[in-house]
Amino acid sequence: MERLRVAVFASGNGSNFQALVDAIEAGQLHATMELLVCDRPSALVAERAAQAGVDTFLFSPKQYPNREAYEAEILKQLEAKKIDLVVLAGYMRIITDTLVKPFYGRLINIHPSLLPAFPGMNAIQQALDYGTKVTGVTVHFVDGGMDTGPIIAQRVALIEEGAGIEEVTQSVQRIERELYPQVVQWFCEERIQLIDRIVHINS
């Protein structure tokens, strides 16, 4: 079976990017990391990609007239690399139909809450402000909305009494680094089936 050709979109530190690279190197993930797309050229994730020998497409959105223009350029990069799966990992921009349509069903995101609760920015702080006793992590397909795509997998993180943003964030990020490589491996094994909004994980 050929290895899945993966591209990661990220805007920040790149801890989930690194988790995927590490899983590939450890033989736990039957994929190749073909490309990093990053909208902040100075972000740490770009350094991680360089250290891992992963090609990068770094861009500044302000250099393009609109979102569709830079997404069209990204699409060219993805097609040139023959990407099978696009993985958003802390990419802080809404994806438009320019990318969603050609990659729907092959475009996933990870979010630090149990969707549909607490979508959008600052999800962990939203959970703390609300006073919920649990939060967690969701991996979902991207459909162009704000964290509205079909849910692939979720895992719970308990919020202990008196826990602050740093403690909860660390707990959530540990789960992310475990769950995301697992879900990508399901794609490698062709176990994921999307029917309407319902995702089936075949054994």
pLDDT-derived band at 182, boundaries 50, 70, 90: very high
DSSP-assigned states of every residue in 16-43: HHHHHHHHHHTT-S-EEEEEEEES-TTS
Number of folded domains that form the chain = 1
Which CATH number goes with the domain that contains 58?
3.40.50.170
Catalytic status, residue 140: no
Catalytic residue among 30, 111, 140, 200: 111
Q: Does pTM top 0.75 for this prediction?
A: yes
Query: Does some domain include residue 123?
Result: yes
Phi/psi for 194 (5° steps) reads -105, 120
Query: Does some domain include residue 179?
Result: yes
Query: Does some domain include residue 168?
Result: yes
Decide if pLDDT at 27 tops 80: yes
Q: Specify which residues 8 forms β-bridges with.
A: 36, 87
Query: Does some domain include residue 202?
Result: no
pLDDT reported for residue 2: 87
Query: Does some domain include residue 88?
Result: yes
Domain of residue 106: give its range.
4-197
Summarised one tens digit per residue, pLDDT across range 62-82 is 999 999 999 999 999 999 999
For residue 39, what are the CA distances in angstroms to 18, 59, 95, 96, 145?
A: 17, 5, 12, 15, 19
